[in-house]
Amino acid sequence: AQRVTQPEKLLSVFKGAPVELKCNYSYSGSPELFWYVQYSRQRLQLLLRHISRESIKGFTADLNKGETSFHLKKPFAQEEDSAMYYCALRDKAAGNKLTFGGGTRVLVKP
Amino acid sequence: DAGVTQSPTHLIKTRGQHVTLRCSPISGHKSVSWYQQVLGQGPQFIFQYYEKEERGRGNFPDRFSARQFPNYSSELNVNALLLGDSALYLCASSFSGSPQETQYFGPGTRLLVL
């Protein structure tokens, strides 16, 4: 069965410092990975997906199939990056069902 | 467009009761998915519907059921409520539910079972 693990419940960094959110997955097929973000009092929204290979709000994520990881990185954290981040995997054979990790709360201190 | 809307925003029920949650997708979207998010955990897939047909079902008991209407809105029903059903229930919509599409989430309905 597919599984997504986010080992850190909370990451606290200072403004301007790098931030890396870890995501590991288990999946037998070819996965499609996403990062979703939820800012305070807002709804869950897509941040980026691995197939796009783009940078959104300064964040990037690289799919490493050998290590089954999809870590999210930003070189210089901003206060507005404080939010809840969820890594998710989509099973292409199951429509658009998403399997989410437990989430990492990022707190960027001034 | 207001995006995905859900009603009610909050509700409180007691064990054994029945609850119906409602979702209206973004205009033009024909696929709706339901997720349960227990406090401190990530969302967990319950159902996906497209064109009124069930396309996928997560690992939830038969107490959970859903349906989609001709206008593509959807209802999630939970019978014989348990304390463990207390959670945020999220609805997400996409145009056709195909894997390439982005899902857009609603604000959720927070259910508390006492």
Q: How far apart are CA A86 and CA A53, in angstroms?
A: 18
- Rounded to the nearest angstrom, the minimum Cα separation between A108 and chain B is 20
Asked whether the predicted pLDDT for residue A65 surpasses 90, the reply is: no
How would you label B23-43 residue by residue, b for 16+ Cβ within 10 Å and e otherwise?
bbbbeebbbbbbbbbeeeebb
| Pairs of residues, one from chain A and one from chain B, whose beta carbons lie less than 8 Å apart | 59
Residue in B41, B80, B74, B75 with CA at minimum distance from that of residue B61? B80
Q: What is the pLDDT of residue A97?
A: 87
Q: Per residue of chain B (114 residues), what is the pLDDT tens digit?
A: 679 999 999 999 999 999 999 999 999 999 999 999 999 999 999 999 999 999 889 999 999 999 999 999 999 999 999 999 999 999 999 998 777 788 999 999 999 999
Q: What is the pLDDT of residue A96?
A: 75
Q: How far apart are CA A17 and CA A38, in angstroms?
A: 21
Q: Under an 8 A CB cutoff, do B99 and A90 touch?
A: yes
Phi, psi angle pair for B95, to nearest 5°: -65, -55
Asked whether the predicted pLDDT for residue A106 surpasses 90, the reply is: yes
Q: Mean pLDDT in chain A?
A: 92
For residue A100, list chain B residues with Cβ-Cβ distance below 8 A.
35, 42-44
Residues 6+ apart with CB under 8 A from A54: A48
Q: What is the pLDDT of residue B97?
A: 75
For residue B23, list chain A residues with Cβ-Cβ distance below 8 A.
none
Phi, psi angle pair for A62, to nearest 5°: -115, 130
Mutation target to probe the B interface, by most B beta carbons within 10 A, among A6, A97, A100, A104 is A97
- Residue ranges of chain A whose CB lies within 8 Å of a chain B CB: 4, 6, 32, 43-46, 86, 88, 90, 92, 94-103
Asked whether the predicted pLDDT for residue A92 surpasses 90, the reply is: no
Helix (H, G, I), strand (E, B) or coil at A45: strand
Residue A26 bridge partners (DSSP): A3
Mean pLDDT of A40-58: 88
- Rounded to the nearest angstrom, the minimum Cα separation between A98 and chain B is 7
